[in-house]
């Protein structure tokens, strides 16, 4: 666990080194010397890459707090260093403006690191959104399939219920028909018996 933490916090330390090292570069970014701008551009790319790695290792929330702490710490250290060693940095005149300039340099590079974190987080969120879209599509397909199966089951149950009702009606009709047939036969039998009895009585007289 400790080795993993050292590995994770090595990138913010590298970002701090890049930001602090920018204090020793020329401030004439857009002068006729293209080399100055190239160095600043490469330094910005390095800070962007550090922000990207920080987002991958420490996450957006914790990594953002770490980068913000690095920007504040390096900014304070840079201001103190420039104030103490003003002769070395050649800021004997207009000290306040130069301190602001050095602070803005550090903030700019820190912002590049945060920009790298934002781009990495945006790509992560985009991939998660695509995965969620695929899951949502799968859920919709599963729901449609389940709805289709339920409809088939309901249709089959309805057919079975209709068949049961039809069979019951058919059996009831058969029973009623047998009942009527038996009643008819009984009436015929009773009528025949009466006729025989009447005939028998007449013969006895």
How much is the pLDDT for 205?
60
Q: Which domain holds residue 82?
A: 2-132
How much is the pLDDT for 32?
47
Q: Which residues contact 75 (CB under 8 A, 6 or more apart)?
A: 103, 106, 107
Whether 113 and 73 have beta carbons less than 8 Å apart is answered as: no
**Total domains, the chain:** 1
How much is the pLDDT for 120?
92
Question: Of the candidates 72, 43, 56, which has an alpha carbon nearest to the alpha carbon of residue 10?
Answer: 56
User: What DSSP state is assigned to residue 92?
Assistant: S
Helix (H) or strand (E) holding 1: none
Q: Does residue 46 sit within a domain?
A: yes
How much is the pLDDT for 2?
45
pTM value is: 0.61
How much is the pLDDT for 31?
47
SS3 content of the chain, % helix, strand, coil (to 5): 90, 0, 10
Q: Does residue 16 sit within a domain?
A: yes
Tokens coding 20: 């602090």
Task: For the chain, list residues with pLDDT below 70.
Answer: 1-4, 26-36, 89-95, 201-205
Look at residue 52 and give its three-state secondary structure: helix
Q: Does residue 154 sit within a domain?
A: no
């Amino acid at each position: 666990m400790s080795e993993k933490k050292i590995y994770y916090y090595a990138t913010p330390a590298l970002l701090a080194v890049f930001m602090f090292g920018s204090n020793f570069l020329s401030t004439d970014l857009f002068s006729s010397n293209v080399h100055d701008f190239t160095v600043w551009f490469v330094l910005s790319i390095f800070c962007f890459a550090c922000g990207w790695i920080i987002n991958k290792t420490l996450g957006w929330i914790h990594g953002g707090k770490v980068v913000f702490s690095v920007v504040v710490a390096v900014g304070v250290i840079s201001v103190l260093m420039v104030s103490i060693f003003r002769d070395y940095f050649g800021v004997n005149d207009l000290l306040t403006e130069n301190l602001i300039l050095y602070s803005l340099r550090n903030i700019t590079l820190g912002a590049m690191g945060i920009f790298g974190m934002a781009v990495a987080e945006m790509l992560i969120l985009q991939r998660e959104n695509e995965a969620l879209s695929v899951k949502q599509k799968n859920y919709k397909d599963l729901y449609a399939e389940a709805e289709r199966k339920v409809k088939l089951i309901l249709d089959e149950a309805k057919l079975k219920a209709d068949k049961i009702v039809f069979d019951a009606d058919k059996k009831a009709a058969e029973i009623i028909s047998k009942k009527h047939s038996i009643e008819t036969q009984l009436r015929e039998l009773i009528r025949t018996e009466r006729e025989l009895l009447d005939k028998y009585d007449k013969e006895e007289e």
